[in-house]
């Protein structure tokens, strides 16, 4: 049912925790389904130097959060904003269809943190022009 990569990121998630003086914080989720993700970013000269996450949810949600942080760490803000849920699913070697929404949440959490960073620094980030951090885009 789950790939070995999903199980590895669930059992040994990368970048778990909180960044106290984060430059961008994004929180997304839906209490009805139980998956809630919070992403913290430390950004220096437009590069994501550090990224951490806290996720309350199923194994797929934890694995998706872990993989998303791995995919954007060390990348520029412009590169990170291009992260898609499909890239997270591919990097995990696939997710069951009923769990793909977890990768959507991971993408949205990353974008929410980047949006927060842009708002705090009065920046315009290409790709976030129409982003609404309060919109619940994840479906089951």
Per domain, the residue ranges of the chain are 4-120
pLDDT single digits (tens) 55-96: 999 999 999 999 999 999 999 999 999 999 999 999 999 999
Q: Pick from 126, 133, 79, 140: which is nearest to 108 by CA?
A: 133
Task: Reply yes or no on whether the pLDDT at 23 is more than 70.
Answer: yes
The mean pLDDT of the chain is 93
Say what the pLDDT of residue 34 is. 78
Arithmetic mean of pLDDT, 41-50: 98
Catalytic residue among 33, 47, 58, 87: 33
The CB-side HSE value for 46 (13 A sphere, CA atoms) comes to: 7
Say what the pLDDT of residue 138 is. 54
Residue 138 tokens read as 């994840």
Say what the pLDDT of residue 118 is. 96
**Annotated catalytic, 33?**
yes
Arithmetic mean of pLDDT, 10-36: 91
Pairing label, strands 24-30, 47-56: unpaired
Instruction: Provide the CATH topology of domain 4-120.
Output: Sufe protein. Chain: A (3.90.1010)
Using CB atoms within 10 A of its CB, is residue 92 exposed (0-12), middle (13-18) or buried (19+)? buried
**SS3 for 14-57, per residue?**
CCECCCCCCCEEEEEEECCCCEEEEEEEEEECCEEEEEEEEEEC
Catalytic residue among 102, 104, 105, 110: 102
Q: Which of 35-39, 94-98, 107-111, 132-136 has the lowest mean pLDDT?
A: 132-136
């Amino acid at each position: 049912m789950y790939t070995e990569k999903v199980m590895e990121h669930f059992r040994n998630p990368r970048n778990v925790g909180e960044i106290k003086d984060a430059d961008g914080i994004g929180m997304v989720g839906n209490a009805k389904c139980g998956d809630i993700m919070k992403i913290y970013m430390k950004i220096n000269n437009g590069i994501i130097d550090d990224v951490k996450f806290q996720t309350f949810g199923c194994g797929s949600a934890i694995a998706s959060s872990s993989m998303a942080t791995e995919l954007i760490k060390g990348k520029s803000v412009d590169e990170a904003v291009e992260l898609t849920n499909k890239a997270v699913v591919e990097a995990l070697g696939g997710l069951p269809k009923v769990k793909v929404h977890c990768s959507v949440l991971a993408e949205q959490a990353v974008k929410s943190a980047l949006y927060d960073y842009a708002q705090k620094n009065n920046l315009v980030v290409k790709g976030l022009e129409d982003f609404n951090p309060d919109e619940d885009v994840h479906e089951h």
